[in-house]
């Protein structure tokens, strides 16, 4: 296994542990066990628990890009597909979403996580805003709304609905229907 593959496996294990135990419950020893390595290897790659959490957060963002890069018939459909890609009955998506929510909430108390959360959230909102601008240009999205505001509103919508979905308050079908309804009213 290459060093990059091993590092990815360690980050996958960390994200899984965060999703199942939370940031406070995640222990280096448990991550090592889940990855099938010694704790020393994790310390070698990341130095300490805080740095591992920071890298896990960045890894979540990179993993999300693999399933949210979708194209619809027009920019409106693409925005909707990108948002709905975050709510799927796929294990990786559920784990990623749970770990993201946990780390986002942990950043309230952990200042070291805040810049990474801010950067990833800002980038995600900017990506959605760029799609909204493209839709305003092609006529599939109303030009009366500010594209940057749409980016913030739509990404916040998905984060909030995802929390209810992950806790079983909404089924996947219900969560996706709510995102579709609210996004549709904001975009048209």
- pLDDT of 5 above 90: no
Mean pLDDT of 19-30: 93
- pLDDT of 1 above 80: no
12 pLDDT band, cuts 50/70/90, is very high
| Contact indicator for 57, 112 with CB cutoff of 8 Å | no
CA dihedral 30, 31, 36, 38 (to 10 degrees): -80
pLDDT of residue 28: 96
**What pLDDT digit, counting tens, does each position of 69-99 carry?**
888 889 999 999 999 999 999 999 999 999 9
Separation between Cα atoms, residue 94 and residue 2, nearest integer Å: 27
Percent of the chain with pLDDT over 70: 100
- Record the pTM: 0.89
Separation between Cα atoms, residue 172 and residue 179, nearest integer Å: 11
pLDDT of residue 68: 86
Secondary structure element (H or E) that encloses residue 164, with its range = helix 147-166
4 pLDDT band, cuts 50/70/90, is confident
Terminal alpha carbon distance of the chain = 49
Higher pLDDT, 66 or 158: 158
Separation between Cα atoms, residue 135 and residue 20, nearest integer Å: 38
Pick the CATH number of 49-187 from 1.10.357.10, 3.40.50.2300, 3.30.2020.30, 3.30.360.10: 1.10.357.10
Separation between Cα atoms, residue 88 and residue 176, nearest integer Å: 8
Separation between Cα atoms, residue 138 and residue 118, nearest integer Å: 30
Provide Rg for the chain, Cα atoms. Answer: 18
| Contact indicator for 186, 153 with CB cutoff of 8 Å | yes
Return the ∠ at Cα 35 (arms to 111 and 107), rounded to 5°: 10
3 pLDDT band, cuts 50/70/90, is confident
Tell me the domain boundaries of the chain. 49-187
């Amino acid at each position: 296994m290459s060093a990059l593959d091993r590092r990815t496996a360690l980050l996958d294990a960390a994200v899984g542990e965060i999703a199942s135990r939370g940031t406070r419950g995640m222990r280096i020893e448990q991550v090592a066990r889940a990855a099938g390595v010694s704790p020393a290897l994790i310390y070698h790659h990341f130095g300490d628990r805080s740095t591992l959490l920071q890298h896990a957060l960045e890894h979540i963002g990179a993993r999300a890009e693999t399933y949210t890069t979708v194209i619809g018939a027009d920019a409106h459909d693409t925005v909707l597909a990108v948002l709905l890609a975050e709510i799927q009955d796929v294990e990786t998506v559920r784990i990623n979403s749970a770990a993201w929510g946990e780390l986002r909430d942990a950043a309230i108390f952990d200042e070291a996580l805040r810049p990474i959360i801010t950067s990833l959230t800002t980038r995600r909102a900017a990506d959605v805003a760029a799609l909204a601008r493209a839709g305003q240009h092609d006529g599939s999205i109303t030009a009366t709304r500010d594209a940057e505001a749409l980016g913030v509103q739509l990404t916040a919508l998905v984060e909030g609905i995802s929390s209810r979905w992950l806790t079983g308050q909404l089924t996947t079908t219900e969560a996706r229907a709510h995102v579709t309804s609210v996004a549709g009213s904001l975009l048209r």
